[in-house]
């Protein structure tokens, strides 16, 4: 960054100095490295000075310990105090062993920070300390530097400039003016996807059958379209998919509909005969009219033979990514605050996302989608 003309002020935690001395950073940076909240006569309140003058704060590497302290609002050293004292964008570059990276607590802490607007550069797969190999390696400095430049120029996440269309909730098919045929979908996963995508820079349209609260920091970036039936969902999604870069069908759309009675059915008239007809296959039609360069994500809610049924759906629907949900599993699926899924790509390569909040699941889904931008759609 110095070679590119940036003014770099290094801050080291005590543990960082166990690896590289402060003198080395002082020689490379624009000013001497700081390591303590106290003892600098030139800057008696260093964390506020650094926080107020920064255009960007980068933590590289960000350890699991640092991430936890930042997420809980601790300010027990110069680095965490500076993070709390700045209004500048913050970029975390996590690096740790795979087992630590995959811990739900680490992912929940990152989800909390992302919700607050912190940007996270995902670690790479490669050689780790102690001769191990896996996900958790710090990205190469050139890649971090390139992202830093983009953020300074206005980039705010992997979905910056992208238009994302998301569906949420379970459709309701009218039986009569009072009764409906529906399912147990709460819409929480779709809303979580919308919020996370908006925080990562996307312009989001959410087509939903339910009304759930949105965070104040994202509500202006999300256009909510209210629908009820499968037919209304079909019309809204088909119309808005034409100019979308990513389409995510998280809604549970009815497979069947029926012609509703114009008047309330009466019990005294006996058991009614309901005649069902197929509802529009929204996902299949979205794939059929797929726009050039567009990525389409589908969901599969299963209860038995989960992966076999999901693989069959992936081949049938031809989506770029299928989010497989065992809704019979404890704590997962409909009506829960948590979820666990399997991400099945178009080559049928599976990635398991362990049980965690639906927001953290959304982060994992969107990270996989962002990684597919380079590959392009099938």
Q: Under a CB-based contact definition with an 8 Å cutoff, are residues 321 and 369 in contact?
A: yes
Q: What is the DSSP string of 298-343?
A: EEEEESSSHHHHHHHHHHHH--SEEEEEETTSTT-STT-SEEEEEE
User: Taking Cα atoms as reference points, which of 150, 149, 140, 154 lies closest to residue 4?
Assistant: 149
Mapping DSSP to helix (H, G, I), strand (E, B) and coil, where does residue 84 land?
helix
Question: Residue 327 and residue 74: Cα distance in Å, rounded?
Answer: 37
Q: What is the DSSP string of 30-71?
A: SS--B--SS--TT-SSHHHHHHHH-S-EEEEEE-HHHHHHHH
Buried b (16+ CB within 10 A) or exposed e, 37-66: beeeeeeeebbebbbeebebbbbbbbbbeb
Tell me which of 183, 305, 309, 325 is the catalytic residue: 183
How is residue 193 written in tokens?
């996807």
Residue 136: alpha-carbon gap to chain centroid: 18
Q: Decide if 305 is catalytic.
A: no
Question: Residue 88 and residue 85: Cα distance in Å, rounded?
Answer: 9
Question: Residue 121 and residue 126: Cα distance in Å, rounded?
Answer: 15
Quick one: 340 exposed, middle or buried, by C-beta within 10 A (0-12, 13-18, 19+)? buried
Q: Under a CB-based contact definition with an 8 Å cutoff, are residues 262 and 175 in contact?
A: no
Q: Under a CB-based contact definition with an 8 Å cutoff, are residues 145 and 1 in contact?
A: yes
* CA-based radius of gyration for the chain: 24
Question: Residue 124 and residue 190: Cα distance in Å, rounded?
Answer: 27
Q: Under a CB-based contact definition with an 8 Å cutoff, are residues 176 and 260 in contact?
A: yes
- Point out the residues that are catalytic: 183
């Amino acid at each position: 960054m110095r070679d590119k003309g940036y003014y770099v002020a290094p801050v080291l935690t005590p543990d960082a100095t166990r690896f590289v001395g402060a003198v080395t950073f002082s020689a490379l940076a624009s000013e001497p490295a700081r390591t303590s909240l106290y003892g600098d006569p030139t800057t008696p309140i260093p964390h506020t000075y650094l926080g107020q003058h920064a255009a960007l704060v980068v933590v590289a590497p960000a350890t699991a310990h640092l991430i936890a302290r930042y997420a809980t609002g601790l300010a027990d050293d110069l680095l965490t105090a500076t993070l709390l004292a700045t209004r500048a964008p913050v970029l975390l570059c996590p690096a740790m062993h795979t087992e630590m990276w995959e811990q739900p607590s680490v992912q929940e802490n990152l989800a909390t920070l992302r919700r607050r607007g912190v940007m996270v550069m995902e670690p790479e797969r490669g050689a780790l300390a102690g001769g191990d190999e896996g996900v958790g390696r710090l990205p190469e400095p050139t890649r971090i530097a390139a992202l830093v430049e983009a953020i300074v120029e206005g980039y705010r996440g992997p979905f910056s400039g992208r238009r994302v269309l998301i569906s949420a909730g379970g459709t309701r098919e009218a039986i009569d003016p009072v009764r409906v045929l529906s399912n147990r979908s709460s819409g929480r996963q779709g809303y979580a996807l919308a919020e996370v995508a908006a925080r990562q820079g996307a312009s989001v349209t959410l087509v939903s059958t339910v009304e759930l609260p949105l965070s104040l920091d994202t509500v202006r970036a999300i256009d909510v379209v209210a629908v009820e039936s499968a037919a209304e969902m079909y019309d809204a999604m088909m119309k808005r998919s034409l100019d979308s870069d990513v389409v995510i069908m998280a809604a549970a759309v009815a497979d069947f509909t029926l012609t509703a009675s114009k008047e309330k059915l009466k019990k005294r008239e006996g058991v009614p005969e309901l005649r069902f007809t197929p509802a529009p296959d929204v996902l299949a039609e979205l794939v059929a009219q797929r726009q050039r360069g567009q990525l389409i994500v589908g969901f599969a809610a299963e209860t038995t033979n989960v992966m076999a049924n999901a693989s069959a759906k992936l081949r049938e629907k031809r989506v770029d990514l299928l989010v497989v949900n065992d809704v019979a599993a404890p704590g997962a699926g409909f009506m829960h605050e948590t979820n666990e899924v399997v991400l099945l790509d178009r080559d049928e390569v599976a990635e398991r996302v362990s049980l965690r909040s639906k927001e953290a699941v959304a982060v994992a889904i969107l990270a996989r989608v962002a990684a597919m931008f380079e590959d392009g759609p099938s």
